[in-house]
Amino acid sequence: MQAIDAAESNTLEGLIDLARYPINRLDSDAGQALIKQCRQQLGDDGCVVLKNFVPEEALEVLEKETERLSPDAHYNQTETNPYNNAGDDSKPASHPLNRFDDRTNGFVAGDRIDNDTILRQVYQNPGFQRFIASVVGMDEIHPYADPLADLVVNVLREGCQHPWHYDTNQFIVTMMTRQSHGGGVFEYVPGIRNPESENFDDVQQVLDGDHSRVRSLELQPGDLQVFFGRYSLHRVTPVVGDRERHTVIFAYASEPGFIGRPERAQRIFGRMAPIHEKLLAEGMQRSDKLVD
């Protein structure tokens, strides 16, 4: 495993609790133990949460950054199904493809987050990337080439929610910087689908109210979460109170050059970047067989 150099370590110093989470020493016994623990948790339920990953002093700075960025959030309110598509008229109304729920969400696009922010410095840090790659069992990961969806701040105001859905990428890395007064609970069903099967029957049971497989997380500011959201159905319950819920989304891919779907960019950010318009004109195909 390639060692982290001094410059990378200095970038992370003070921003991450390196004593508790030695991501700058992954080849040490402590680093290997951390990776083993994270992989075991991911294997058990598709999710790992590193509590207090960010020290209190750094968290105050990160919260100020997301607070400053939050007015740039694009809000959209829509009725959506778990697959973020238009549904299928050939299937019954009870089918998951035709189960729509209210989604009201705010997202600060990546091109609004400058290179001099701490958020982007962490996102682009090679040592941080190597740590995430090790956790998800990949030799390396790559930042999104998508200028809107690479680094995002999710902003939820009172009443906002993100209903049951899947992520467009295989895994997602998030860091909460501000919790709401109430609500905003992260719930998920690990591994309910796979690259070859949507498993619609089990998804329908969850949508019908069977929560026997549903797990809940009370995430707190400073927590880092690594989550296989491509295959795990998940949601964020409605936010309660006048304090916004802020979560940073670090988007990586297994291959370089990943761009999100143009229609998804339009829906989430209210606009497309030139690369999305180009892909829309050329047509775009996903590498797996999943709906979205």
pLDDT of residue 261: 86
What is the SS3 assignment for 157? coil
In a domain, 291, yes or no: no
The backbone torsions φ and ψ at residue 88, rounded to the nearest 5 degrees and listed phi first, read -145, 105
Q: For residue 53, give the nearest of 226, 255, 243, 238 by alpha carbon.
A: 226
Q: For residue 257, give the nearest of 137, 142, 133 by alpha carbon.
A: 142
Q: Judge contact between 63 and 178, C-beta under 8 A.
A: yes
In a domain, 150, yes or no: yes
Q: In the chain, at which residue ranges do the beta strands (DSSP E only) sit?
A: 47-50, 74-80, 101-108, 142-143, 151-156, 162-165, 172-178, 182-183, 186-189, 215-217, 224-227, 233-236, 239-240, 245-250, 252-253
Residue tagged 């968290």 (tokens)? 59
pLDDT of residue 3: 46
Which domain, by its residues, includes 26?
6-282
In a domain, 288, yes or no: no
pLDDT of residue 283: 77
Give the span between the Cα atoms of 118 and 190, in whole angstroms.
Answer: 31
pLDDT of residue 2: 45
pLDDT of residue 292: 63
| Binned average pLDDT, 10 residues per bin, the chain of 292 residues | 51 90 96 97 93 94 96 94 94 98 95 94 95 96 95 97 90 96 96 94 98 94 95 96 97 92 89 93 68 64
In a domain, 289, yes or no: no
In a domain, 290, yes or no: no
pLDDT of residue 135: 97
pLDDT of residue 211: 95
In a domain, 10, yes or no: yes
CATH of the domain at 202: 2.60.120.620
Q: For residue 190, give the nearest of 170, 215, 165, 210 by alpha carbon.
A: 215
pLDDT of residue 168: 78
Distance of CA 184 to the CA centre of its chain: 15
Q: For residue 141, give the nearest of 253, 41, 62, 19 by alpha carbon.
A: 253
Tally of domains within the chain:
1
Structure tokens, 224: 């880092």
pLDDT of residue 8: 57
In a domain, 45, yes or no: yes
Q: For residue 172, give the nearest of 99, 115, 91, 236 by alpha carbon.
A: 236
pLDDT of residue 263: 86
The residues, any chain, with a CB within 8 Å of residue 191's CB and separated by 6 or more, are: 46, 228, 231, 232
